[in-house]
Structure 1
């Protein structure tokens, strides 16, 4: 019997066309403006490569398929390896090959690096984690010349070598981190992992509840040495072969699915001391300072990607005889969200500039914490509202929005959750007069141009004549970071954007996105750069 011909049931209309290749650099005036002075040629190439349809397909494979833990080989020997899909390696090759991790240590800038974080986070944020840790590990190695001489040049090489080999046999390496233990969490001084001197190095015994990127070539970790809590570099391979690092299981996470996070145990793993015994927290802070830059930039990338999806949909989709983007309520909502996104980009890249300026280190210490706190608190709301703008379609994996939504909380948790960051801000201002002075100077530098900003800064100073009690730390951090964002926008953004931000973010406003009055949503919406 002949099969019955399949007849079309309907013609597809009122649906945006498939996006095809997307140039993430040329379509983003916000990034181009605030990254002025970065390596524009590199960023243009990187933005084009990331936006290719084939790259986005690789990112989808990396996120959907995810990593697989292989504890033993077929003969029952310990393997302790994670196998990733091809899409993961494609994104790692693209990022590390472009200098995501190596750039600032091989003649590039932290500003260019931060812009790369912003771009990469839009496509596949899970692969940012191992690249970010490799970037941030370099300063932590600097005070130990023997290790820096071995690992430093390979970390500063723009390449990706996924082979599981000793460091001496690899073109380039990656470094991960293993700090957290079950009983301690953020209180790393409660760690119980032991480090025993042995054969000119140390042997580690203990567990780590979170080991990020467990296929890295080495890990920075904290352990209790005879002289107190100390920082160590634990190589994956030693002269004896595989180091005694046992991967117990992979974490089943809400998001960041392309990246493996593992629970591990050290069974006499060989390790090398970084710096001095008892100075582990101070040593690891050198790494955390740089990873916090990336956790401040990544949410800006997530917001940008979510708003690009929403703008593409609303600029094409019609309802009630009008494009969605032309309807007043939608215009106000998207413009409101765009202000948060541009503010996050501006503040994050301003912090990155301070990493490139040795004289601005006091400002970098306080500003990176402020940016991390505010940008991450804004991110989930922006992503959610962008999802809702698409209706039911935004809730499906046919768009990037479910992935972005799962990713949105992570960077706030990583490298110090909100309360930890707020307490760090208070401690820095209390103990580091240079940081407090630098923050005050940067806030003052933008006065005299917008009355709303001047009034808000004066009110802030009047309210907080000294540092707040711990219970008020979140309010203080939010107000301070918002003022700093406004100050950066006054300096670098189009006047309409700076004026709208200051008018709607400083002082009282509605609690919900889209509830603020805005005279010219179009000027803000133009910053999305599409449609």
Structure 2
């Protein structure tokens, strides 16, 4: 019998596979929307929802895929041999950037005096981040550069309006001729890393007021296509902060020699470079010797974006895993109907909600601190460092578990899960690895006594509402009072701070099923530490209904 096309193709019939997730609504997240309203930015909900629908659309999801498959490339010279040091990106990268700038993820928040503006930006980032993580880097740096630049009012007057623009204007040109600017930062050097006080880049005064030339090599400068950079260098008066434009006011190219692009584990869509400075023209920002104090304003904000990025990856991979187990069947039933899989997904949902709640609380503290609230300033100081340590530490384990929910399908690049998994560790390294942030919490407690008061006041708001939380806070107070060998115990202490903060937020604001389950497991010890080890007492149905209604 002659085999027909129909009989041949029958062996390749596709069954029991999940359909594409897109289109979906990245803002369909009760924890996020409640936090948005609670932290004073309910006025932005319509925009956040609009961006969430756009982020989950097939077009935006494809932009994320394309931007990572077609990585940026470095062109050091043009065809005639002129040094140009330009980085070329796939069109998908520019599409992502264009939307992100237009939706206020760069510097536009600084042009608004509306209460809750930083919360609105953070919530927008939590949903737009479902597309792709790499382009969040230049968004974060442009957002964070403004308060540092304000240490030099004459420079801020020139550049801040352009940094606050919602127009994406790529390409190198005289900054003041562009419709919008992006900014980066150059801090670390190969011999020191996080220990920036050992930097060897030298800044030499030119004789013109505030103008220097730089000579040295930076080890990890991301997004080198930005228009401006804040750079640390050793001036005669000590380590100082400088503004370095790629293009000088006369239209010539500043000496910004990109030696190579880093070959990174993840974050592949975003170029990270090693630039060399040799006669590079720079303008002093703040006084000589005040480099760290000047640029630390930038670091505090980029740390917030690291927490946001990890919370975004958690939610994105939770949604992917939930979608898969809803549609995939094994051993006679959908995966989500298997008790153990329900345990895993519910456990991930608890972690995701706790990360989202803390992220938005930090954003709210940022808004109120910048408005002059000293107690919120003190809370933000300690809670941002603690949140940066803990939430970004949870990211890799979370994304690995979410990937595993897809089985072999999740290990294949086409699923997108390997990209998310590779991205997760970056957020615990960027802006200070775990040890740096843990020690920063100790520094805040030792040097700024108001931070401890603010932390305890925040935890006291939930006192008496959950026995596990109350006991955890009591133990934490004992830990905080014990200063012996504090550095070696710093990670344990900061973990407890972060978990107590998350538990307190959930007890105050989340449904009892969520709060009780989180506190019983993360604070009460009724948990196996691997995801999917929730005790029988947890109401997984309520947890899942809240996090992923389609699974209920």
Which category of TM-score, normalised to the shorter sequence, fits these structures?
A: over 0.9
| Secondary structure of 2:130's aligned partner | helix
Shift of 1:530: 4.5
Q: Which residue is equivalent to 1:524?
A: 543
Could you tell which deviates more after superposition, 11-20 or 403-412? 11-20
2:80 matched to 1:75? yes
Q: Which residue is equivalent to 1:269?
A: 280
User: Equivalent of 2:529, from 501, 511, 530?
Assistant: 511
2:497 matched to 1:486? no
2:379 matched to 1:363? yes
Q: Which residue is equivalent to 2:103?
A: 98
Change (3 A) 1:19 1:510: closer
User: Equivalent of 1:54, from 38, 53, 59?
Assistant: 59
2:405 matched to 1:403? no
Q: Which residue is equivalent to 2:120?
A: 112
CA contact (8 A) 1:222 1:231 kept: yes
| In structure 2, distance between residues paired with 1:460 and 1:143 | 37
Shift of 1:467: 3.7
| Secondary structure of 1:253's aligned partner | coil
| In structure 1, distance between residues paired with 2:18 and 2:68 | 24
CA contact (8 A) 1:309 1:399 kept: no
| In structure 2, distance between residues paired with 1:520 and 1:171 | 53
Change (3 A) 1:16 1:203: same
User: Equivalent of 2:233, from 223, 226, 240?
Assistant: 223
Shift of 1:421: 0.3
| Secondary structure of 2:541's aligned partner | helix
Shift of 1:529: 2.7
| In structure 2, distance between residues paired with 1:204 and 1:527 | 54
Structure 1 residues 304-343: aligned runs within 5 Å: 304-343=315-354
2:190 matched to 1:182? yes
| In structure 1, distance between residues paired with 2:299 and 2:16 | 47
2:15 matched to 1:13? yes
2:451 matched to 1:435? yes
| In structure 2, distance between residues paired with 1:528 and 1:15 | 23
| In structure 2, distance between residues paired with 1:465 and 1:453 | 18
| Secondary structure of 2:220's aligned partner | strand
Q: Which residue is equivalent to 1:137?
A: 145
Shift of 1:527: 2.9
RMSD: 1.4
| Secondary structure of 1:101's aligned partner | coil
2:154 matched to 1:153? no
Could you tell which deviates more after superposition, 521-530 or 178-187? 521-530
CA contact (8 A) 1:33 1:493 kept: no
| In structure 1, distance between residues paired with 2:223 and 2:463 | 44
2:473 matched to 1:472? no
Q: Deviations over 1:461-485 (max 9, x none)?
A: 2344234510000000001110011
Q: Which residue is equivalent to 1:292?
A: 303
| In structure 2, distance between residues paired with 1:120 and 1:370 | 24
| In structure 2, distance between residues paired with 1:211 and 1:366 | 27
Under a length normalisation based on structure 1, what TM-score does the superposition of the two structures give? Answer: 0.97
Structure 1 residues 197-236: aligned runs within 5 Å: 197-198=205-206, 199-200=208-209, 201-236=211-246
Runs of 4+ with >4 A deviation: 3-6
CA contact (8 A) 1:312 1:530 kept: no
User: Equivalent of 2:516, from 489, 499, 503?
Assistant: 499
Q: Which residue is equivalent to 2:409?
A: 393
2:39 matched to 1:31? no
CA contact (8 A) 2:151 2:294 kept: no
| In structure 2, distance between residues paired with 1:220 and 1:467 | 36
Q: Which residue is equivalent to 1:449?
A: 465
Shift of 1:4: 8.4
2:69 matched to 1:64? yes
Q: Deviations over 1:298-342 (max 9, x none)?
A: 101001111111100101111111111111111111111111111
| In structure 2, distance between residues paired with 1:436 and 1:55 | 43
CA contact (8 A) 2:355 2:391 kept: yes
Shift of 1:5: 4.6
| In structure 1, distance between residues paired with 2:191 and 2:438 | 22
Where does structure 2 lack aligned partners over 5 or more consecutive residues? none
2:226 matched to 1:238? no
Number of residues of Structure 1 aligned to a counterpart in Structure 2: 528
2:273 matched to 1:255? no
Shift of 1:28: 1.6
| In structure 1, distance between residues paired with 2:157 and 2:108 | 18
Q: Deviations over 1:194-245 (max 9, x none)?
A: 0001133000000000111100001111000000000001001113410011
| Secondary structure of 1:173's aligned partner | coil
Shift of 1:516: 2.9
| Secondary structure of 1:254's aligned partner | coil
Where does structure 1 lack aligned partners over 5 or more consecutive residues? none
CA contact (8 A) 2:133 2:267 kept: yes
Q: Which residue is equivalent to 2:292?
A: 281
Could you tell which deviates more after superposition, 204-213 or 107-116? 107-116
